[in-house]
Amino acid sequence: GASVVKLQKCLNKTISADLTIDGDYGKKTADAVKSFKVKYKIRNIDGNIYGKAMYKKLKKVLRKKNGGI
């Protein structure tokens, strides 16, 4: 849905994930979430799920890059 589209766009911008923006939380999006967590040392307490810790870090990284989400 719309929240996955936003996530995919953010991942493309922050880690050059090269995701297709389709709103589907499939394998490629899950892998990109995992890559983001590894790169920014986010504890993997919620598996590959996009949780609060990742949201906060993603927001912070985007703010540094271009002023926010």
Residue 39 dihedral angles phi and psi, to the nearest 5°: -60, -40
Distances (CA, A) of 41 to 1, 21, 29, 45: 27, 25, 18, 12
Q: Angle, nearest 10°, between helix axes 2-15 and 52-66? A: 60
| 3 state SS for 10-35 | HHHHHHCCCCCCCCCCCHHHHHHHHH
Per-residue pLDDT of the chain (69 residues; tens, 9 = 90+): 999 999 999 999 999 999 999 999 999 999 999 999 999 999 876 666 888 889 999 999 999 887 655
